[in-house]
Structure 1
Amino acid sequence: MVFTAQEMARLMPDASQLESDEPEMESSLHYIQLALLVACLEWQWRGRNDFFIGANLTVYYSQQQLRNRDFRGPDFFLIASTEKRPRRSWVVWEEDGKYPDIIIELLSSFTARVDRNAKKILYQNRFRTPEYFWFDPEDLEFSGFRLIGQEYQAIVANEFGRLWSEVLELYLGIHDRKLRYFTPDGELVATPEEAALQAQERVERLANQLRALGIEPE
């Protein structure tokens, strides 16, 4: 039986009762990688207020899931065209029936089998998430899939080994052993710290150019 978002909302508990119930990240590598994905996209989209990023946050979507405590919180997920505000978890029936538009799982020896199989099937068949990626911060395994019709199809890498995300309108690829975003032109999407350093370097270059012309910058 299929319920509308409104029918589901009447049947399900209030979202304020539902805290995220996800385990800790597997290692410091996983934590650093997750923080990097969040920080870079938040910075790249700093002028926007129409998205939500979930980081190791539970997605609640059915009564059976609640009964079985079968929580499937992606490591990273993004919802487009929604209000950007803090949430304790993502509760589908409180969010107009919206599921993640893109999911990234960080593989580990403990989670890889589930991420490659059970979660992939769930995201494909139940969530209908348009794009699903996984990345292993330890051995750098990296794959991506796009929902074509009813099934995920592998995304073909470009000549640099990067995978295009239609949802983000950015490439995903490995840089310095980390999964990073790249612009359509191939430029690395900076962290806020990297952006600040780049800005300082531009100021210093300009100052040096002025001094070369005999002008002392103020």
Structure 2
Amino acid sequence: MFNYNPLDCLPSSVELPDSDDTPVDNELQILVPNLLLATLAFIWQNRDDWFFGINMGIYYTPSNPAIVPDGFLSLGVERFVGENGRSSYVLWEEDGIPPILALEVVSQTYNGEYEQKKIDYAKLGILYYVIYAPTRLRRKRQRLEVYRLIEGKYILQPGDKLWMSEIGLGIGIERGTYQGKTREWLYWYDENSSRYLTPEEQLQSILAKLQQQKIDLNAL
């Protein structure tokens, strides 16, 4: 008996465009999600059930163009797919698992982050939608806004740090240094609102401890 699988007729990720080819307005749109990814790779280095995409297309139906957040996090999926990794995030190849978090970094060119993208991400069922405006503050808008999907609508959550129990991480803003640039950044936090160190900070901490041990040995 012939078994028909409709998924076999859908295009694969290698057959679909991997982004919308829209250039970013400033380097913060790249640096902010890259900092989150680098830190997450350190925090969850022993886990392989997550994926963090940066400026990557999310396909939810083959007949619609991809939605391309500045960053997104999915849980319960393979972290690494093949030697070359994912070219795009295709829901019918990910067992229908949508991202649990989407991130938009607001640039100088306003792009519907507070309106249309909220509608798009809600339709996808993305639980948390994070909007970060690192260079300017729109009227009546907070610099960081984190929304939680409740009964199909995004509800703004209070505070500049938010614990997301479904993810097991908090997210918030704080002044720090990344790649030699000191400014406010978006960071991951633990349940006690303590910020996770970045890989650079971890290295600096290790080097400082080694230097102190060297001083202590020389003093003997």
Which TM-score bucket, shorter chain as reference? 0.7 to 0.9
Query: Among 95, 118, 121, which residue is 1:120 paired with?
Result: 118
1:99-178 alignment, distance < 5 Å: 99-112=98-111, 114-124=112-122, 126-139=123-136, 141-157=143-159, 161-176=160-175, 177-178=184-185
Name the Cα RMSD after superposition: 1.9
What's the counterpart of residue 3 of structure 1?
none
Number of residue equivalences:
198
Segments ≥4 residues shifted beyond 4 Å: 209-212
**Structure 1 residue 74 corresponds to structure 2 residue 69:** yes
CA shift digits 1:92-124 (9 cap, x unpaired): 111111111111111123244x11111111111
Superposed CA deviations along residues 50-105 of structure 1, whole A, max 9, x for unmatched, are: 1111100000111331xxxx431111111101111110000111111111111111
Describe the SS at the equivalent of 1:40.
helix
The TM-score, its normalising length taken from structure 1, stands at: 0.82
Q: Distance in 2 between matches of 1:35 and 1:99?
A: 20
Taking the aligned partners of 1:35 and 1:62, their CA distance within structure 2 comes to: 27
| Residues 15-40 of structure 1 deviation map (CA, whole Å, 9 limit, x = unaligned) | 22113123232211222212212111
Secondary structure of 1:132's counterpart equals strand
Pairwise CA distance, 1:170 = 2.0
Structure 1 alignment gaps of length 5 or more = 1-5
Name the amino acid aligned to 2:70.
Answer: D
Gaps of 5+ in 2: 138-142, 176-183
1:183-216: CA deviation from partner (whole Å, max 9, x where unpaired): 223332222121111111122234444555x2xx
Q: What fraction of aligned residue pairs are identical, expressed as a percent?
A: 27
Q: How does 1:38-49 map to 2 (within 5 A)?
A: 38-49=37-48
Alignment partners' CA distance in 2, 1:142 and 1:93: 32
- Aligned positions of 1:188-207 closer than 5 A: 188-207=195-214
Q: Say whether the 8 Å CA contact 2:11–2:62 is kept in structure 1.
A: no
Instruction: Measure, in 2, the Cα distance between the counterparts of 1:172 and 1:181.
Output: 5
3-state SS of 1:64 partner: coil
- Paired AA for residue 145 in structure 1: Y
Task: Give the 3-state SS of the residue equivalent to 1:190 in structure 2.
Answer: coil
**Is residue 54 of structure 2 the alignment partner of residue 59 of structure 1?**
no
CA distance in 2: counterparts of 1:201 and 1:168, whole angstroms: 32
In the alignment, is residue 84 of structure 1 matched against residue 79 of structure 2? Answer: yes
Distance in 1 between the 2:104 and 2:166 partners?
Answer: 16
CA distance in 1, matches of 2:37, 2:208: 25
Match of 1:50 in 2: 49
Q: Is the contact made by 2:161 and 2:193 (CA closer than 8 Å) also made in structure 1?
A: no
- Counterpart secondary structure, 1:115: coil
Deviations 1:165-191, CA, capped at 9 Å, x for gaps:
224322211122111112223332222
The one-letter code of the counterpart of 2:48 is N
Bigger helix share: 1
Distance 1:153 1:169 in 2: 20
Aligned equivalents of 1:109, 1:166: Cα separation in 2: 32
